[in-house]
Amino acid sequence: MTPIGLAPTLLTLPAELRNAIYAYVFASTEANTEYILLDERSPFAHALKLDESTFHSPRSSLSDDAEPSGRPYAHLRPLQVCQQIHTESALYALSHTTYHLPSSLCDPSDFYQRTRCLSTGKLSALTQLTLSAKIPSLRALNESWQNLPFGHPSLRLEKLTLIPLRPDAAKSVWGEIADLSQAHTLAYILGETFRGLKNVKEVEVLNRDYFRAGVWELVYRTLFYRMFRWGGSKCGVRFEGPVEEANELGGVGERGQTTRFRVFFGEGETRGKEVGEEVCRLLGKEGTDPMETELALDAGVGP
């Protein structure tokens, strides 16, 4: 309650109004998700404690005289104002921030080492993670995660974004062969991961011009046929895409486009299509009974 005659401050406003203000300040925006973390220390500790660790942004300098808005996770700076604001809004702020992780964090042991400073509650507040990694590093998803995101039981992700990167050999004269080989490997990794993944509601897989359109189409088709062979037309995983859209950050190719597809998990999920429906579309048999297609594939008909 504000004493009579004194102007109200943020901390004297009713809790409902403070929560509305926190929701506005910490709302997810594209500007809050563009940072790629290259520092060896924990990005989560940086975000929570707001220290001055050196992180790298593709768009701004991190020198001392840089504009505050140009610093990584600048939107979390209000958490530094006082203990009450930090206590009231930290978990909300963290749950509305997408963290970009380096490939080293694919490995559960490395992820654990760099997040062990966080309490279970704070780690559970992280709901949106983006992982950029070369395909060999992504093998940890199906080999080491044990059906949990980053192998950590405390994570409950609303969205996990994967950005596969091309191998070094892709820049050589053997680039096309390397891409084709990696396409099958990536489809295998994703298929094996999606079969049992838990504690994740949505996975988005992005191709920001790193792979040629034909190679990315091969990844998508191979993934679907793997899922179809494993679980049939309805295997508890639904798909949406692929979709092409403008790439505001720019890609390494000339088209400047991002191609993505999304995968949805969980009982009662209605977004996307069942695997059988999408396989029929890929075979040019849209509208066909998926069971007929399943029998045809079992008989050796189709790709």
Whole-number pLDDT of residue 62: 28
pLDDT in tens, 218-264: 899 899 888 888 887 788 889 987 877 665 544 444 455 578 899 99
Tell me which residue of 164, 26, 36 sits closest to 99, measured CA to CA.
Answer: 36
Q: At what angle do helices 213-231 and 290-298 cross, to 10 degrees?
A: 90
pTM score of the predicted model: 0.76
Distance, in Å, from the CA atom of 191 to the CA atom of 263, rounded to the nearest integer, reads 11
Whole-number pLDDT of residue 303: 45
Whole-number pLDDT of residue 42: 47
DSSP state of 61: -
Residue numbers of the chain with a pLDDT score lower than 70:
1-5, 28-74, 169-175, 209, 245-257, 286-303
Structure tokens at 27: 């709302």
Distance, in Å, from the CA atom of 44 to the CA atom of 54, rounded to the nearest integer, reads 13
Q: How far is CA 150 from CA 31, 71, 188, 199, 261, in A?
A: 25, 27, 18, 11, 21
Tell me which residue of 220, 221, 103 sits closest to 165, measured CA to CA.
Answer: 103
Whole-number pLDDT of residue 101: 84
Q: Are 210 and 228 contacting, i.e. CB atoms less than 8 angstroms apart?
A: no
Whole-number pLDDT of residue 192: 94
